[in-house]
């Protein structure tokens, strides 16, 4: 498979931004006025942040016109991360009811479908710091365990173009063992740390496997939060203020990032569901990281 040499940002350091940016609730906080389309928020967003996670591509392959609009809406030096479409990362089709039988997803780890995705996003490839493969929690009815998962993922990574900043996010805590991190290193891919419900704290994962992770050039940290329904009830679906403070977690995460910056290029993406307002969390974390680096 051919090499695509777009992944040029590997100098140690970090960027921090939010998981998506299309929130009317941020008017008065990040934006001056409501906009009709997500892309129309990007110019103002990019004046405050240097990176953004594109979440919408998880649900569909974008059209090239939309991709080009994203590129035209941000200044030089601004970058993105993105998730590949779920049609590539779901082992089975989503069920409408739990009682429905499992149906194998024919697009699971399809090189052909991934190449269609790459073709669609090609204008933005030089600005992508991470192309993320997010896998759902895989119970035994979907995947027998880590060895079977690696047997499926390995050939896929071997066949897709090299030279791009691939990063993989597993949602199985029991997969996070030495074999997993060695596999990523061998396949020139990064680990996506998920601070979320049912997963171990990201700093504990890093400390346990630091000797391998520090050789990967880059990492991604996604702060996703805990019980989504609970924080949605607290916010009432409005994401303009912090409703659940996580000061100790943020201090530990800041220390983790400070430990990484000498060897890794790290991207941190914050979700509204983490504390209730991603921009506010980003502001706090930037201060904490600056202090931790200077300590």
Asked if the structure places residue 189 within a domain, the reply is yes
* Residue 95 pLDDT class (50, 70, 90 cuts): confident
Whole-angstrom distance, CA of residue 202 vs CA of residue 111:
30
Buried b or exposed e, range 269-282, using 16+ CB within 10 angstroms: bbbbbbbbbbbbbb
Asked if the structure places residue 142 within a domain, the reply is yes
Whole-angstrom distance, CA of residue 253 vs CA of residue 234:
24
Tell me how many domains the chain contains.
1
Give tens-digit pLDDT for 106-148: 999 999 999 999 999 999 999 999 999 999 999 999 999 999 9
pLDDT at 9: 54
Asked if the structure places residue 8 within a domain, the reply is no
Give tens-digit pLDDT for 138-161: 999 999 999 999 999 999 999 999
Provide the CATH number for the domain around residue 220. 3.20.20.410
Asked if the structure places residue 5 within a domain, the reply is no
Asked if the structure places residue 105 within a domain, the reply is yes
Asked if the structure places residue 83 within a domain, the reply is yes
pLDDT at 175: 99
Asked if the structure places residue 171 within a domain, the reply is yes
State how far the alpha carbon of 106 is from the alpha carbons of 2, 112, 159, 225, in Å.
24, 11, 17, 31
Asked if the structure places residue 2 within a domain, the reply is no
Give tens-digit pLDDT for 58-80: 999 999 999 999 999 999 999 99
Whole-angstrom distance, CA of residue 71 vs CA of residue 125:
10
Whole-angstrom distance, CA of residue 131 vs CA of residue 15:
15
State the residue range of the domain holding 26.
Answer: 13-294
């Amino acid at each position: 498979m051919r090499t695509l040499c777009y992944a040029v940002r590997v100098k140690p350091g970090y960027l921090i931004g939010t998981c998506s940016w299309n929130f009317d609730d941020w008017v008065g906080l990040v934006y001056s006025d409501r906009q009709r389309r997500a892309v129309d928020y990007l110019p103002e967003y990019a004046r405050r942040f240097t990176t953004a996670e594109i979440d919408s591509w998880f649900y569909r392959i974008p059209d090239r016109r939309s991709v080009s609009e994203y590129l035209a809406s941000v200044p030089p030096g601004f970058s993105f991360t993105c998730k590949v479409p779920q049609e590539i990362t779901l082992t089975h089709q989503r069920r409408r009811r739990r009682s429905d039988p499992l149906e194998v997803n024919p697009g699971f780890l399809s090189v052909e479908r991934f190449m269609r995705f790459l073709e669609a996003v090609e204008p933005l490839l030089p600005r992508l710091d991470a192309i993320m493969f997010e896998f759902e929690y895989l119970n035994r009815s979907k995947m027998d365990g880590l060895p079977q998962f690696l047997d499926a993922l390995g050939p896929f990574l071997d066949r897709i173009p090299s030279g791009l900043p691939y990063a993989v996010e597993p949602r199985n805590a029991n997969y996070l063992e030495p074999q997993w991190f060695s596999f990523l290193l061998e396949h020139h891919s990064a680990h996506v740390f998920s601070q979320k419900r049912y997963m171990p704290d990201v700093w504990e994962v890093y400390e346990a496997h630091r000797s391998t992770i520090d050789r990967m050039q880059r990492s991604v940290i996604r702060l996703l939060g805990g019980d989504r329904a609970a924080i949605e009830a607290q916010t009432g679906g409005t994401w303009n203020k912090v409703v659940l403070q996580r000061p100790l977690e943020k201090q530990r995460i800041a220390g983790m990032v400070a430990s990484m910056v000498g060897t890794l290029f790290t991207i941190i993406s914050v979700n509204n569901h983490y504390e209730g307002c991603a921009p506010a969390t980003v502001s706090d974390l930037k201060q904490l990281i600056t202090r931790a680096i200077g300590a």
